[in-house]
A and B are shown apart, each in its own frame.
Chain A
């Protein structure tokens, strides 16, 4: 079977600044200027106070693994060659969560609440994905 190309993010226009920053290896999220909360993924209005008054800010890239799994079998076609790979929900210091892959790690050492930091992996000329590695 031919391996399909790895899927690129289907970008919503208002999220474009996130992907532009990722290409420059910077991690940014929105922050609400009215209620001060960090917002991820990007929204058209604050999901907490419904304000339109949002700004983009660079964040620390530090967080912890909320949960994780090592995919060993039955991956989607485009990821079969990647197995084993780690899918994890990362909780950033700023309080928001995002899905990513944990890389540069010993698979047996992974655990929930493990501290991680941002790293970037180029997917295509247009897209660089934010990934995480143990601190």
Chain B
């Protein structure tokens, strides 16, 4: 249990479209997202006293610029006291939010700008992306020599998950279809044309049973949020989006050391987060579940408690997670349809959770959304991070 519940709130959000923008400088994705978030919060830019950029992967040079205060200078954040990077790979959304929240509740900071940007779509070649993700976060001693990479990792989870639950390839494909339904309504998503199970099943086999259209693709993009105290939040124009509960489990570094590659630590993290929030999965209006590959969205969905183990496939097949249906899930289209922007995949989900709760999700707005759960994981699914957000404090 943390002491963050109801004490801090997301008050502003910003995001640039996900895509391929070779003419655009990487910093643009950071500063445009941050500018939007500050304006959305309705605060003076000089209220930001802590700038927290998370890491960019495409270029160490660019990441060093983020570390060395470029965002602060570009935006003219004149009263900023600290610029400090918080990074835990794909779980940077949750870890960053909780770090920022702790700084605010302890009095170290009053208003934190958290910002992500990357250029994995145009900053590296397609094979370069595969090669980057066959070494980044993969053990150079125990896995790289055997040809391990991110597709084979997701395939290892998928094979075991199918073996234990009887999940079918069509059910996996239905997760991609569900996320696409949401992306069709998201102007910031890259893939917006309708997708069918047949199209997913006809796409190229990568690592069995994982097909090309079951894989995320890498793009350029960025997103940002502003966090401040609940007290200050009540004076600002947006509905405050409070942190209500959070927990996490760190399970492995070397993927093959994970004892359960089709469950991980989600159940424990979720139980603790829901207990802190004094809420249940059934209270959630929106489930922003980290996807990257369909099996991880199904595992997250089940382990969080939205259904029993092995039932997610049928629920996704029936379209119960689509817009207007029973359990809106991964409502920005996720990494599978909005596009994977590195550590920002889950930052997008966090921003989307806040957007839905603020009532600003436009065509894909979930009616009267009050509570949302966001999940994130970094590296090779090394951790399970769960955050519960809401506009009311139970």
Identify the A interface with B (CB < 8 A).
Answer: 1, 6-12, 15, 41, 66-79, 82, 85, 87-89, 97-101, 111-113, 123, 127, 129
Contact = CB atoms under 8 A, between A and B. Distances in A.
A68 B261 CA distance: 11
Nearest to B163: A112
B85 interface: no
Given A1-B127, A87-B148, A112-B159, A99 B204 contact: no
B146 A12 contact: no
A101 B256 contact: no
A100 B208 CA distance: 16
A70 B208 contact: yes
Contact of A71 (B127, B151, B254, B256): B151
A55 B368 CA distance: 61
A10 B134 CA distance: 14
Contact of A72 (B157, B163, B205): B205
B142 A99 contact: yes
Interface in B301-360: none
Nearest to A6: B145
A73 B127 CA distance: 11
18 contacts: A7-B140, A9-B144, A10-B140, A41-B141, A41-B254, A66-B160, A67-B159, A67-B261, A69-B152, A69-B210, A71-B206, A72-B207, A74-B151, A74-B212, A79-B147, A99-B148, A112-B163, A127-B145
B207 A87 contact: yes
Contact of A69 (B141, B143, B155): B155
**Nearest 4 interchain pairs by C-beta:** A69-B155, A76-B134, A99-B256, A10-B140
A9 B204 contact: no
Contacts of A10: 140-141, 144
Contacts of B158: 69
B106 interface: no
Contacts of B130: 74-77
Nearest to A66: B160
B160 A98 contact: no
A72 B127 contact: no
A71 B147 contact: yes
Contact of B146 (A112, A113, A129): A129
Contact of A76 (B139, B149, B159, B210): B149
Contacts of A88: 156
Q: Chain B interface residue count: which class? A: 35 or more
Interface in B250-270: 254-257, 259, 261
Contact of B206 (A7, A73, A76): A73
A68 to B, nearest CB: 6
A1 to B, nearest CB: 7
Nearest to A101: B146
B163 A98 contact: no
Given A41-B257, A76-B149, A87-B207, A99 B143 contact: yes
Nearest to A96: B257
A85 B141 CA distance: 19
B278 interface: no
A123 B145 contact: yes
A74 to B, nearest CB: 5
A41 B158 CA distance: 24
A71 B145 contact: no
B142 A98 contact: yes
A70 B155 CA distance: 9
B208 A77 contact: no
Nearest to B128: A77
B74 interface: no
Contacts of A101: 146-147
A113 B156 CA distance: 13
Given A72-B207, A87-B152, A112-B160, A11 B141 contact: yes
Given A69-B152, A72-B205, A112-B163, A41 B147 contact: no
Contacts of A69: 152, 155-156, 158-159, 207-210
A41 B127 CA distance: 30
Contact of B256 (A77, A98, A127): A98
